[in-house]
Structure 1
């Protein structure tokens, strides 16, 4: 572990992670912003989206939680992403890239950092796929967990796809035809498809004017370089769920979650209300807040409001 900033304590390191059938040693990279030893609130472990994305898009929006409140932030890159071990040789191996793999990785990281032994415990934040992972982990009733925030993490992928198909009907007719035609042709790289996808992005993923923030652009470029996890678990695009996640339904165990849960999404989110509603119905202690001017990336689209909501939930 190395301290890299004298004003804001920032440490990073690797947690060794034994994975059966990986074929090589694996490790999970993590970064801790703040001090775990002297904080008024439990640390917040941040689970990124994708699957196959990385931690970078969450750093800048979340810094006020440390700067203003002193909540320690723990970011990490999941296996196959970012600074953690990549396994491109496992591309297409749906048995290997599973929900349980990432739950095991999360457990391993928490144990490595000793979070489950803390008197004040720890909280989880999950964005999109990370929200699915966070709620699934919470349903196992782990020691030390105090609160969970699920930001746009579907309870059911079939319900997610139902919502996507409904949202596509609201796009301009030429965009609908382009998406449908390119999907049938197996074409997700042409200019025609990319243009149609950008219309979707600007309506249901990131509605803010201008380009993606640099952290998101850098993350997406790296996913293109190694699409192993995303392609195996999801598929070629947001509109085609062909991977191991396509039939994933997680809400059946939600009644076992014992800690308070905050569910978030945007009014224009590609993760529609219908695929979040099972969380709200099944989790015993749950609150649902919708961001009126956001789609999928409320942490950027309504950054101040987003951080305010998280701060209120984590400190009360």
Structure 2
């Protein structure tokens, strides 16, 4: 990756700034790929590996930190009414226009980023030539049901620790954090220890969880924020962009969670990474990046 140029900048958005980084060069013959992180409330760091697609096939890969996160303007004073899907759709449009790629681009969204990508795609933007939905729910209610089903498969002592601290309201207690990590090590990232870019995202979220807290809630098991009733299941048939769905065999985005994408997006393809959970781009990096690259090449 040392020979692939990259530049960083900011998009003026409302009265704020959205940080972005381009790996590779714009304009380019191949479709530029915009990568959106999850959360809501994560940062670009843990999906950083997708930049290596620039070396694989010569396309520009654009990462950005969504408003309130990472290198973009932080807004810890903003409450639930501010953090909406429409806010982030508008921000994405601003990014595409700022970079001058709104007429021809591909989009990859991981977890919440894929939810955002689906919301973007149902509007049928003419410039969206290919869509990758990675490890994403189509309904938050299904997501919570499955997260709690997977939780019931954890060792009994881990489950007891989680429940004890939830009842006491001590979710920041080291024992609760450790018990939660047992779930994450099974169903979020199975690489031990976590790669530094993954750890960095979680560290930044620990410092400022404004977006996650308001949109999701306190934990993966308790979605009580603004997204709690979110679903896109009944709108997916409107997506016209060629779509690739990826997930991991041990993913918290279980087959039941991702099924609506396969069932409702015309022509949607599904690839399951057998050794991965929620982060195939980390857990089976080479295979995942190659899979995405080969898909995008079909639409260059």
Normalising TM by the smaller chain, what interval? Answer: over 0.9
Deviations 1:60-79 (A, max 9, x none): x2233111210110111100
Query: Who is 1:194 aligned against?
Result: 177
In the aligned structure 2, how far is the partner of 1:195 from the partner of 1:258?
43
Query: Who is 2:241 aligned against?
Result: 259
In the aligned structure 2, how far is the partner of 1:96 from the partner of 1:74?
25
Query: Who is 1:289 aligned against?
Result: 271
Structure 1 position 113 matched with structure 2 position 99: yes
Gaps of 5+ in 2: none
With structure 1 as the length reference, what TM-score do the two structures score?
0.91
Deviations 1:93-147 (A, max 9, x none): 2221011110110011111111123xxx100001111010011100101121000
Query: Who is 1:97 aligned against?
Result: 83
In the aligned structure 2, how far is the partner of 1:16 from the partner of 1:6?
29
Structure 1 position 50 matched with structure 2 position 39: yes
Query: Who is 1:306 aligned against?
Result: 288
Give the superposition deviation at 1:247. Answer: 1.1
Gaps of 5+ in 1: 19-24
In the aligned structure 2, how far is the partner of 1:315 from the partner of 1:255?
24
Query: Who is 1:21 aligned against?
Result: none
Higher normalized contact order (CA 8 Å, seq sep 6+, divided by chain length): 2
What pairs up with 1:1-316 in 2 under 5 angstroms? 7-18=3-14, 25-37=15-27, 39-59=28-48, 61-90=49-78, 93-117=79-103, 121-208=104-191, 210-316=192-298
- With 169-178 and 5-14 compared, the bigger mean Cα shift is at 5-14
RMSD of the alignment, in Å? 1.4
In the aligned structure 2, how far is the partner of 1:226 from the partner of 1:243?
16
With structure 2 as the length reference, what TM-score do the two structures score?
0.96
The alignment of Structure 1 onto Structure 2 pairs a total of residues equal to 298
Q: 1:6 to 1:154 in 2, by over 3 A?
A: closer
Aligned-partner SS, 1:240? coil
In the aligned structure 2, how far is the partner of 1:108 from the partner of 1:254?
23
In the aligned structure 1, how far is the partner of 2:169 from the partner of 2:218?
9
